[in-house]
Amino acid sequence: MWLPQDQEVYAEPWQQFTRTFSNGEAEVRYRCEIIYGQRRIQRFWLLTTDPETQPSNSTVYVMSNAPAMELDQIGDAYGERTWIEYGLKQSKDALGWADFRVTRYEQIERWWEVVMSAFTMVCLFAQQFNTHCPMTHQVFTRHPWWQNQAGWKHLLNN
């Protein structure tokens, strides 16, 4: 980050916090806010399991521009990122999209059309939608390949 000559980068003192995992287990972690000149809307954090050695496999830099996020939520919110990425990876693999990368604007625009179309199709078969629009669901379930099982993979296959 480029800063004016009269501003410096400084770090707040390390603070201990409890990282709660999705299985309910908890672990003590440490966070340190890095401030570039002055506090901005984007806030920068260093999260680690050990502030002395900062092991590379458990130390991450995080940028957050969520002003409503409480200080104690930083570590847990960032920890959810792994599961979100895992779920998206599984979805991309199931759709056959894992091997594709787009860089031109037209390709990116088309990519989002496909993603939003797939999202719409899955949503159309979600239980919440079907309670309000049962006729649509009844028409589609007559197809011989229809799967009456729950889960996003079956919805996607349908």
φ/ψ (deg, to 5) at 149: -95, 155
Strand extents, DSSP E, 37-156:
43-48, 60-64
φ/ψ (deg, to 5) at 156: -65, -45
Percent of the chain with pLDDT over 70: 73
- What pLDDT was estimated at residue 14? 93
pTM for the complete prediction? 0.50
Q: Encoding tokens for residue 127? A: 């239980």
The secondary structure of the chain in percent helix, strand, coil, rounded to multiples of 5, reads: 40, 20, 40
Spatial distance between the Cα atoms of 9 and 1, rounded to a whole number of angstroms: 10
Q: What is the pLDDT of residues 24-52, one digit of tens each?
A: 888 888 988 888 888 777 888 888 889 99
Q: What is the pLDDT of residues 96-128, one digit of tens each?
A: 767 766 677 888 788 888 888 877 777 776 666
Whether residue 89 is predicted with pLDDT greater than 80 in this model: the reply is: no
Using the 8-state DSSP alphabet, how is residue 63 labeled? Answer: E
How large is the average pLDDT for residues 127-156? 72
φ/ψ (deg, to 5) at 29: -130, 175
How large is the average pLDDT for residues 64-83? 69
Q: What is the mean pLDDT of the chain?
A: 78
Whether residue 82 is predicted with pLDDT greater than 80 in this model: the reply is: no
Distance of CA 32 to the CA centre of its chain: 22
How large is the average pLDDT for residues 139-150? 77
- Domain ranges (residues) in the chain: 9-85, 101-157
CB 75 within 8 A of CB 47: yes
Whether residue 68 is predicted with pLDDT greater than 70 in this model: the reply is: no
Question: Torsion angle, CA of 134/137/143/147, rounded to 10 degrees?
Answer: -120
